Amino acid sequence: MQNKNIRNFSIIAHIDHGKSTIADRLIEYTGTLTKREMEAQVLDNMDLERERGITIKAQTVRLDYKGKDGQLYQLNLIDTPGHVDFTYEVSRSLAACEGALLVVDAAQGVEAQTLANVYMALENDLEIVPVINKIDLPSADPERVKEEIENTIGLDTSNAVLASAKSGIGIEEILDSIVDYIPAPEGDENAPLQALIFDSFFDSYKGVIAHVRVKQGHIKKGMKLKMMATGKTFEVTDVGCFKPQPVDVGHLDVGEVGFVAGSLKDVRDVQVGDTITFADNPAAEPLPGYRGVTPMVYCGLYPVDSSDYDNLKDALEKMQINDAALVFEPETSVALGFGFRCGFLGLLHMDVIQERLEREYNLKLITTAPSVIYHVFKTDGSQVDVSNPSDLPPQTEIEHIEEPYVKATVIVPNDFVGAVMEISQDKRGEFKTMDYLDENRVMITYHIPLNEIIFDYFDRLKSATRGYASLDYELADYQESKLVKVDILLNGDPVDALSTIVHKDRAAGRGRQLASKLKEIIPQQMFEIPIQAAIGSKVIARENVRARRKDVLAKCYGGDISRKRKLLEKQKEGKKRMKAVGSVEVPQEAFMAILKID
Amino acid sequence: MDAKQWGVYVHIPFCRQKCFYCDFPSFAGRERYWEDYTGALCREIAVRGSYYRQQWGKPATIYLGGGTPSILPEKFMKQLLSELRQIFLPDGKAEEFTVECNPGTVDEPYLAMLRNRGVNRLSFGVQSFDDTLLKRIGRIHNGQQAVDAVAMARRVGFANLSLDLMYGLPGQTLEQLKESVEQALSLKPEHISIYGLQLEEGTAFYRMQELGKLNLPTDDVTEAMYDYMTEYLPSQGYERYEISNFARPGFESRHNMSYWQDVPYLGVGAAAHSYLDGQRWAAFAELDRYMDAIKENRIPVEPEEAATTAIAIEEFCFLALRTAKGISREKFLQKFGREMDVWYGTVLRDLSARKLLVDDGRYVRLTRQGMKYGNLVFEKFLLDAQDF
């Protein structure tokens, strides 16, 4: 295909603004798949994704479209993950494109995450085609939304397409706009290869399959190639495009988007953002923007049934095959036994992995409260990274601790500015900027500890703003904070998995809240259970779970036996998620209690 | 075929008035069924009863329960007892032959009639001697009637009487309970059963509780009642031989013990359960369905869950654990071919360490604490699929 007939684009949209539906319609309209072949949402093909209405793994599809001028165009849609955890992945997907559709809900307007992605697209010099979707909603106000786009982003909206993907309105116009406004890719067919990896997945027959955009040069079957960052070399066994299932076409030319495979076994050899080049005649420079995977949030994963340890290990290894961002290493907890410390891109990533482990591998897990990575500077001059509160050195050995801060961007209707500020201050945020997007909507930025973000910041924002707040954040820097470890003792014994690191000024309050939350969660047992929160040896809060009352079926005669056994089975089932910590049975949710206190 | 121990249960699903806490299969205001139902029972006894009688010999125990068996008019009760004696008791005597009675439904001639036809044990549903409380829970009798009924039973020659008492009733205080217990003791029964009120779905009390109109004692009070009775009754010569049952030595209910000791029993009548050759069966609970089946010469029962070894082991254990004697390791080995430690080694060690049970090498039994938290112990005796 001649470069001038290729268009590479992605779709930027907030959750629920209709990205997947638009993608479906484009696939359908261009005949890439017949309606019969289409699942409801082709691009979001994991169950979980469909359930949550978000895209976790990027997907790519090549659409063949005959333009108004009668020429055949190759349109490559690169779908991007739609969540703040995956900012880096989004940036690489955008770097593979020349343009993007900006899809905005005609009733709801621009949201924080959309904005973040638009800025990222602009940084990558992408041409942006605004699409106002859901124009047939009664509450649609396309003119206001256009104005908002012009005010906030400074985009010219005179070429904006008015569409309703659901009703099939504006689909042809979208395709024509892609052809008309998004530039064709440039590049030298004969230069040394530079192909950008923007995603990868594991196929049990072909090994790791890399999603690539050829920036310079070309790829053919049989070529010897090399990953510039990881140094891994391989021979191309399969190369082709997605329709949307992979189709081996034997080559990818400059400007094209598709996949490469070559018996690569380890997904970590195929890093998002890396550049593929010729093994023998490499490009002088890799493409810009590569960075290694850096987990932001850590938590412990433990099997409820300790005999499941090996199963959990297998499952994590299998997941990692397809998810280079997931890291884990064995960890031992006094309370929970053997498990794994796992690192994630963010809370959603963590949730998704945990749910998949339980759903796909049928494991019952205990997850400890998530933690960020603290930089601990010790009095002996050394520095350690701590992602598990129970690993924090004794207070006497700590010179100071630094914690990660993020730049958080919140967009809300102006009525809620006060609420956002109140919550953000309460979360130790430092106010940075406030800008009016239009008369009604305000964008506020805060410099705020990541630790506070993962502790229910967004939940509180949403409930204080009746769901209107949208949030985006990116790692800013590390700063010194006065942090202490709060330990929890059950029945007099410290439970390492319940320890948490909090700011000194809030430690007493957190300790009290945590103790009283645990009192609600931990069921009565045969003896009274004291719950204490302590900093070092100083107890800062105390609660008691009273001893449970007698619990025995009074009557069990000839007619009752089967029924009584079923009652016992039900009772046993209810306890499957309890972990015996010493002599206390602790339900799974206790280890997440810290996230549930207000 | 060698004689073996087994029992017969006969269900009488009628009562004058449904008690507010009762979820048993029993119906008020079905007088028109009495005659046909008695006929159906006799027919079932003649057919199913004869079969097991031939197989296993004479049953050790017969138990008429309900509902309220004593609500059956003399004519029908006589007919039923004759049938039972004819089929099961050629010599006229059973080791234990119990009829449950409501103190408000009996008079002396009726009790004499029972006595003369081989019944040798009566179980009175007394519940309380406090008339206000009795009314509040839907009982049709009062305290004095209970006192009178016991006196009449003694006069006609019953030497084995049991009284049921309830605690944890709406508005009941510990003092009221103590008074009822003292009154019960003054009647010198051979046997006492105590039942904490359980709210069962579908009962009047359950609905009242949902509406917040049931003034139940607090958990603290109910527990104090339990502690009081489980301590006091043994001190008065009533040994606690099962979680809720107390008896003077030698007067333990043999029939009820058979439920907990893996002894087979034949249940006759609507909704009656049977345990035969290791399989549990339930008779049709609806009266019409039951009687139609009998009329059409069909066996009126259907199997409960298919018996599996796992279920058999679980039930063997948690039923035996209800008794003071506990699980006989030898009986377990005989029945299942392997020591119980094969399945329960860890459980036994863990529960012993927590002082919930005692394992003396011959018997495994609950401690006093273990009885109080019986459900927690029983639960541990449920097996996982992976154990097989």
Cβ A426 vs Cβ A420: under 8 Å: no
How would you classify the pairing of strands B273-276 and B279-283?
antiparallel
- The region of weakest confidence among A370-374, A375-379, A438-442 is A438-442
- Most A CBs within 10 A among B98, B319, B373, B381, hence the mutation to make, goes to B373
- The region of weakest confidence among A530-539, A580-589, B330-339 is A580-589
Tell me what the mean pLDDT of segment A389-404 comes to.
93
- The CA distance from B248 to B188, in Å, is 10
Same domain, B59 and B198: yes
B198 touches chain A (CB under 8 A): yes
What pLDDT is recorded for position A169? 93
How much is the CA Rg of chain B, to the nearest whole Å? 21
Same domain, B240 and B315: no
Same domain, B158 and B225: yes
Same domain, B12 and B69: yes
> Between residues A459 and A597, which one has the greater pLDDT?
A459
**E runs forming strands in A307-372:** 327-333, 337-344, 365-367
Tell me what the mean pLDDT of segment A52-76 comes to.
80
Same domain, B126 and B233: yes
Q: How many CB atoms lie within 10 A of CB A507?
A: 22
Q: Collapsing DSSP states into helix, strand and coil, what is residue A118?
A: helix
Same domain, B359 and B220: no
Interface confidence (ipTM) of the complex: 0.90
Q: Is residue B289 included in any domain, yes or no?
A: no
Same domain, B327 and B226: no
Residue A528 Cα, gap to closest chain B Cα (Å): 14
- The CA distance from B126 to B195, in Å, is 11
Among candidate residues B227, B260, B293, the one where a domain is terminated = B260
- The CA distance from A339 to A363, in Å, is 13
Same domain, B55 and B152: yes
Q: Which residues of A touch B382 (CB under 8 A)?
A: 565, 568-569, 572
Q: What is the DSSP string of A123-188?
A: HTT-EEEEEEE-TTSTT--HHHHHHHHHHHH----TTPEE-BTTTTBTHHHHHHHHHHHSPPP---
B246 touches chain A (CB under 8 A): no
A552 touches chain B (CB under 8 A): yes
Q: For B225, which residue in chain A has the nearest alpha carbon?
A: A550
User: What distances in angstroms separate CA A503 from CA A379, A485, B40, B173, one per listed residue?
Assistant: 20, 9, 78, 51
Tokens found for residue A594: 């810290």
User: What distances in angstroms separate CA B23 from CA A385, B26, B28, B29, B201, one per listed residue?
Assistant: 62, 8, 13, 16, 8
- The C-alpha angle A166, A85, A510, rounded to 5 degrees, equals 120
Tell me what the mean pLDDT of segment A529-543 comes to.
93
Q: Is A390 exposed, middle or buried (0-12, 13-18, 19+ CB in 10 A)?
A: buried
Q: Is B302 exposed, middle or buried (0-12, 13-18, 19+ CB in 10 A)?
A: exposed
What pLDDT is recorded for position B6? 96
pLDDT at A187 over 70: yes
B374 touches chain A (CB under 8 A): yes
Tokens found for residue A136: 């047939």
Q: What is the DSSP string of A433-448?
A: EEEESSSSEEEEEEEE
Tokens 């391989």 found at: A234
What pLDDT is recorded for position B1? 41
How are the residues of chain B apportioned to helix, strand and coil, as percentages rounded to the nearest 5?
Answer: 45, 20, 35
> With bands split at pLDDT 50, 70 and 90, how would you rate the model's confidence at B3?
low
Cross-chain CB nearest to B223 (options A550, A561, A565): A550
Gap between the terminal Cα atoms of chain B: 33
Q: What percent of chain A has pLDDT over 90?
A: 50
Same domain, B234 and B314: no
Q: Is residue B275 included in any domain, yes or no?
A: no
Q: Is residue B281 included in any domain, yes or no?
A: no
> With bands split at pLDDT 50, 70 and 90, how would you rate the model's confidence at A83?
low
For residue B30, the domain's CATH number is: 3.80.30.20
Q: pLDDT tens digits for B57-93?
A: 999 999 999 899 999 999 999 999 999 999 999 888 8
What pLDDT is recorded for position A197? 93
Same domain, B227 and B365: no
- The region of weakest confidence among A154-168, A326-340, A344-358, B182-196 is A344-358
- Which of A542, A567, A534 is closest to A553 using CA atoms? A567
**Cβ within 8 Å of residue A149, ≥6 positions away:** A102, A104, A110, A130, A155, A157, A160
What pLDDT is recorded for position A501? 93
Among candidate residues B231, B260, B289, the one where a domain is terminated = B260
Q: Which domain holds residue B211?
A: 3-260
Q: For A571, which residue in chain B has the nearest alpha carbon?
A: B379
What pLDDT is recorded for position A2? 79
- Most A CBs within 10 A among B375, B380, B382, B383, hence the mutation to make, goes to B375
Q: Is residue B278 included in any domain, yes or no?
A: no
Q: Is residue B175 included in any domain, yes or no?
A: yes
Distance of CA B340 to the CA centre of its chain: 27
Same domain, B101 and B208: yes
User: What distances in angstroms separate CA B386 from CA B312, B343, B383, one per listed residue?
Assistant: 16, 11, 8
A549 touches chain B (CB under 8 A): yes
- Which of A449, A296, A319 is closest to A370 using CA atoms? A296
pTM of the predicted protein model? 0.65
Tokens 């809240």 found at: A513
pLDDT at A152 over 60: yes
Q: Which residues of A touch B319 (CB under 8 A)?
A: 556, 561
Q: Is residue B267 included in any domain, yes or no?
A: no
> With bands split at pLDDT 50, 70 and 90, how would you rate the model's confidence at B205?
very high
Q: pLDDT tens digits for A479-493?
A: 999 999 999 999 999
Count of domains forming chain B = 2
pLDDT at A92 over 80: yes
Q: Which residues of A touch B243 (CB under 8 A)?
A: 552-554
Highest mean pLDDT among A293-297, A471-475, B345-349: B345-349
B307 touches chain A (CB under 8 A): no
Q: Which residues of A touch B275 (CB under 8 A)?
A: 558, 561
Q: Is residue B283 included in any domain, yes or no?
A: no
- Which of B147, B70, B148 is closest to B115 using CA atoms? B70
Tell me what the mean pLDDT of segment A327-342 comes to.
92
Interface A-B, measured as beta-carbon pairs within 8 A, has a size of: 82
What pLDDT is recorded for position A550? 85
Tokens found for residue B278: 């290791």
Strand-by-strand arrangement of the B161-167 sheet:
B239-242, B245-247, B191-196, B161-167, B121-127, B96-101, B61-66, B7-12, B265-268, B273-276, B279-283, B301-303
H-helix or E-strand spanning residue B210: helix B204-210
For residue B359, the domain's CATH number is: 1.10.10.920
Tokens 């942090």 found at: A483
Tokens 């992408």 found at: A126
Mean pLDDT, chain B, as a whole number? 94
Query: Do B198 and A583 count as a contact with CB atoms less than 8 A apart?
Result: no
Q: Collapsing DSSP states into helix, strand and coil, what is residue B275?
A: strand
Q: Is residue B272 included in any domain, yes or no?
A: no
Query: Do B9 and A553 count as a contact with CB atoms less than 8 A apart?
Result: no
pLDDT at A49 over 60: no
What pLDDT is recorded for position B189? 98
> With bands split at pLDDT 50, 70 and 90, how would you rate the model's confidence at A311?
very high
> With bands split at pLDDT 50, 70 and 90, how would you rate the model's confidence at B385?
low
Q: For B368, which residue in chain A has the nearest alpha carbon?
A: A550
> With bands split at pLDDT 50, 70 and 90, how would you rate the model's confidence at A82?
low
User: What distances in angstroms separate CA A373 from CA A401, A402, A501, B65, one per listed residue?
Assistant: 11, 9, 11, 68
Query: Do A561 and B226 count as a contact with CB atoms less than 8 A apart?
Result: no
Query: Do B198 and A550 count as a contact with CB atoms less than 8 A apart?
Result: no
Distance of CA A433 to the CA centre of its chain: 26
Q: pLDDT tens digits for A222-244?
A: 999 999 998 999 999 999 998 88
Same domain, B351 and B214: no
Q: How many CB atoms lie within 10 A of CB A451?
A: 26
Query: Do A550 and B372 count as a contact with CB atoms less than 8 A apart?
Result: yes
> What angle do the packed helices A347-360 and A309-321 form, to 10 degrees?
120
Cβ A72 vs Cβ A64: under 8 Å: yes
* Amino acid of residue B141: H
> With bands split at pLDDT 50, 70 and 90, how would you rate the model's confidence at B268?
very high
Give me the residues paired with residue B275 across strands: B265, B280
Among candidate residues B260, B277, B294, the one where a domain is terminated = B260
